[in-house]
Amino acid sequence: MLKDTLIALLISFFVTATVCPFFIPILHRLKFGQMVRDDGPQAHLKKTGTPTMGGITFMTGILFASIFLIPRYKEVTVVFLFTISYGTIGFLDDMLKIRKKKSEGLKSAQKFILQLIVSTIFIIYLFRVYGLDYGILVPFTGSFDTGVVLKLGIIWIPFALFVILGTDNGVNFTDGLDGLCSSVTVIVAIFFMLIGLKSGFSVTPFTGAVIGSLMGFLIFNAYPAKVFMGDTGSLALGGFVASYALMCKIPVFIAVIGFIYMIEVISVIIQVGYFKSTKGKRFFKMAPIHHHFELCGWSETRTVTVFSIITIILGVLVYLFM
């Protein structure tokens, strides 16, 4: 399994790293530029016009790696299809943003309905495989053999939906600085790979496809970014994180290893709630929280580095106590 995971990593890396130099100029010619929020950090205004929808490049890498993996690991098909489906929703969102030349594409209700449809299909699949016997491993309690495994019964169905939607929004909010979402998610995927190899999950090789593709993409997405992943990429990555964790019965691990995703969402919830309750006051300088640190004087590279280090530390702790 380790060998196939590494082969998938190499395939996706080389495909993505090869596709990007050809695809970025095409995005320029099509004028698929990023629409930057005018109420955001002023330093970000210079990014207006930087090609977006770069998620297509690493999804291409994932596709080629999956073609290699699927004949060997059937469960990879499920996570791959879910990842691509969420990426397609992001693609529609990006296309509308470009067409309307605004920072908002799909309306919230439209995006939610599409996510709900895809998520429901996935949860039905999980239910057919596991039924109400679905168990969730609690972090820091050991492995599946020695640790605490919670069985939620019928509650796990709405719980799974909450995990998917919450995770996808978290990953989406994290995509706000050059290389931030890519860096954090590649680290999350690495620890998912280590946990999967340790536990023998048959879907583990798919993490290699994600790791390799994001490494290839980071060559062009790291500061100063030549291309942004857009919702095409961030929604796809959120779909991967959520579906892989649910398939492996480790969804609670997302709250620890993916702490950055969670804090990004929480910061937005706090900001909106505080703004409404105080009639115009702000709890953070700006949300999501990575913008707060920017406005406090942190550079983009410092923020990305600190958030990545936090993810590494939490990943190590989870792995050591599993």
Q: Which amino acid is at 10?
A: L
> Considering its fold, how many domains does the chain have in total?
1
111/294 Cα distance (integer angstroms): 29
Tell me how crowded residue 233 is: count the other CB atoms within 10 A of its CB: 33
DSSP state of 159: H
Q: Cβ of 274: how many Cβ atoms within 10 Å?
A: 15
Among 3-17, 50-64, 98-112, 155-169, whose mean pLDDT is lowest?
98-112
Max Cα distance, the chain (Å): 57
**Degrees to nearest 5, angle at CA 293 with 42 and 186:** 100
pLDDT at 317 over 60: yes
Instruction: pLDDT band for 132, please (50, 70, 90 cuts).
Output: confident
| 25 pLDDT more than 60 | yes
Query: Which pLDDT tens digit goes with each residue over 11-21?
Result: 999 999 999 99
User: Given this model, what pLDDT does residue 81 score?
Assistant: 96
Average pLDDT, the chain: 90
> Which domain does 90 fall in, by range?
2-320
DSSP-based three-state secondary structure for 138: coil
Residue 34 pLDDT class (50, 70, 90 cuts):
low
Instruction: Give yes or no for residue 106 having a pLDDT over 90.
Output: no
Phi, psi angles (nearest 5°) of residue 33? -95, 155
Summarize the annotated binding site as residue ranges. 172, 231
* CA–CA dist 141, 195 (Å, integer): 14
Six token digits for residue 110? 């439209």
Say how far apart CA 153 and CA 309 lie, in whole Å. 36
Asked if residue 284 has pLDDT above 90, the reply is no
In the predicted model, what is the mean pLDDT of residues 53-75? 94
What pLDDT sits at residue 194? 96
The whole-number pLDDT of residue 35 equals 57
The DSSP letter of residue 223 is S
pLDDT of 68 higher than 70: yes
Q: What are the structure tokens assigned to 82, written together?
A: 């879910």
Amino acid at 75: E
Annotated binding site for Mg(2+): 172, 231
pLDDT attached to residue 107: 84
Residue 225 is given by DSSP the state P
Task: Please tell me the predicted confidence (pLDDT) of residue 44.
Answer: 53
